[in-house]
Structure 1
Amino acid sequence: MIQSSALNADADETPLLTLQDVRAAAERIGGAVVRTPTLRSQTLSEITGANIWLKFENHQFTAAYKERGALNALLLMDQEQRERGVIAASAGNHSQGLSYHGTRLGVPVTIVMPRTTPHVKIMQTERVGGNVLLEGENYDQAYAHARKLEKELGLTFVHPFDDPAVAAGQGTVALEMLEDVPELEVLAIPVGGGGLATGMGTAARAIKPEIGLIGVEAELFPSMYNRLKGTTLPCGGDTLAEGIAVFEPGEYTSRTLDTLLDDFVLVDEAALETALALLLQIEKTVVEGAGAAGLAAVMNNREIFAGRNVGIVLSGGNIDTRLLANVLLRDLARQGRLARLRIFLQDRPGSLYRAMHEFNAHNVNIIEISHQRIFTTLPAKGLVTDIECEARDRAQLDALITALRSKGYMVSQVELD
């Protein structure tokens, strides 16, 4: 049986996870976490050319799969450890899962977060019972402080991913998927530190040895990809998939995944945004960036998944509403349904009116207009007009642009970065 303290041993000495460990975790946490559905998406299957099955882990109470591993680790502790309490460093879903189940079991939970953590994440963790301490300007500094308090206060540290007990709990996701859909042929699994992929990969490979296991990482944070493939791609940046944005993957999980994964793919920010928007528009379900990684991988690597029964984990749904709105609007812009057109006009009466006539003729809705006369390189009698507009689709927008140019207007479309 896995012991929660196994992480204290050297990673090379920690036994690899087994199906028995994952099955034991499933028995342990059964009834205390949501057995989320695995459902086929007809529309996404048609779009991708694969047979898509979605595992809705965003339906957990704290809206993420992290509850599974956190609870399993708590239940493996002895009474003295539980009475003393646990500690973790996290500004994400691990903090909420550990706080929720720790409070439910009467275990004091301390979470160390960087001072830069958004207030909403602090509130969400405190709301489910966690005691939040702010320390350091980044995760590494918060982590160091948590390990310091672990020793000083005699607390038990619960790592968000590099712990066999945590990974075993996460592996129960795969158990449920294969129980519900035995015909799954390949799993696309988000990878950050590697806990989810380690648990799911161990269980899936033991149950179905021929199953394909594809790790998915954000292109801006290819830390595990670098570790396993021997590459030196740069790591860092503002990724939508912050839940899998890890500079240093786990030692234990790296060793395990090196023997499990069949392939590893990276997804860029545009693919993550498109996948997130599709899941909301088609499946009417909200996911965070990391939760959209599996679908993004399938859409960007169709040759790997085409014609196969593909299992995708919607690993979490904790996304800021303002960020979600921004992603959806950007997706409309990529589709050509929203656009900002820059039109160069002469500064004389009626010039804007005549341009507006073309918008009316093509039934394109104008949302916002801004004039610029001063800060421009045009002659003094010229002006730049930016018009934000809404079209039915890209074809309708292109027809408008063509008509404007045929009337002598200089028109350009302001592109997304």
Structure 2
Amino acid sequence: MAANQAPVPLLVPVGVIGFCHPGEMWRLTALHNLARQAANEVLQRQNWSHAQQILTPRRFVFSIPEVAEVRRLVRFMHSQFLCAVNPNDFNWPLKIQIPGNAQVRYGKEFDVKHILDANDWAGLPRPAQLAGPLTRWPPTRPEDILTVPRDSPEMCIGCNAQACKAETLMMEEYCEQLQPDQKIDFDSAEHGRVQGYVVAIDTRMQHLRVSSRRGGSRTLEIPFSSVRLSDNDWYDNVFTGTKPVDVQDQPCTCVELDRWREQQKDWHRRFEIRANGNLTDVFVVAVKPVKHNRPIGELIGILKPDHSVWGQQAPPTPRPQADLVRYRQRMIIGTRNQGPRGGPNQGDIECIVDNHKFCNWTQFIRHGCNPNAEWMASRYGDIRMIVLVSLRVIDAGEEIRVDHGYAWRIANGGCNCGAVDCRGTQP
């Protein structure tokens, strides 16, 4: 397999079986054919002579109701299966065939919650050093091994969201009172922390137009979310005593796990799975800007035991080593030992999250030696999870990348991610 090339997903046309009513699929097909016809008419008109242009084609674009209908049908598709846009066919969606028989075995191929096959854990004795609020052993549902005390040292996604919401409100108020030529600090996906001068403010779209120097002619449009509040005197003076506090210093009372999962169902509003030109690989792109240090998705898969905990060898698998490294993450179960926040410690018991045959959209994030996101051990209230967190500002249209690690690059035979500092097979 070529370096940095994921296993080829099978992209197939969307079938009638994915819809509640065949008529919806037929309607979507009709709209697709209409898009092709409109594009062909545009191309023909560009080649017509001036005299022929008097004969205006029937139509060039969808009507507003047709656009709304396409969006509704595409949103419905995302709730039924994972699909990628086809760049060779007006970004029309193609269904991604997940390998294996998860649809037959578990009744679905993707979800916003883990699944656990009790047969994988049957016969394994409860580890003597395992502590924590386990409800039963062997586990029969994910909550049996993911439930943790609320004072567990991992970052709570719910508490983090509350702090981010307060910061967002402060950011909007700060940006709305900015004046032309005022100096600000903001995050740039290309250059990191940048200083600039305000040229114009669009409060409706929540964008700023900034220049690298006062009165400069070259400007850049940035969203309010890119502004760095903590580096401004106005923020410190106006919001003294009301700034967001460290979420880890406050007692966790988060119980809205279902709200987080509902947000994850709408992932396609913020991200998009795209196929490459020859339809041999897919990747994830941000549709909207992502602020630095924000949780943007959860790793979802099948929870399997780490047989090394019981001194056993893992069952044999025909999957290549590169696949095992890429699609398997370790997650602590039970109460973790005291140690650095968010990381494993000696004596911790771990399970394996395998998202090869059962997953969500995060399965298709590719490797990058200069990543813009990373996996982090977290929790939401009293449920442990692995969350994807942005390492810097991610611009709209930018691909999401994570570092699969040195072991993956060796097993994959190298790396050609295209980064300037691509490490290949180097540590």
Select the structure that is richer in helix: 1
Select the structure that is richer in strand: 2
Q: TM-score, normalised by structure 1?
A: 0.24
Structure of higher RCO (CA pairs closer than 8 Å, 6+ residues apart): 2
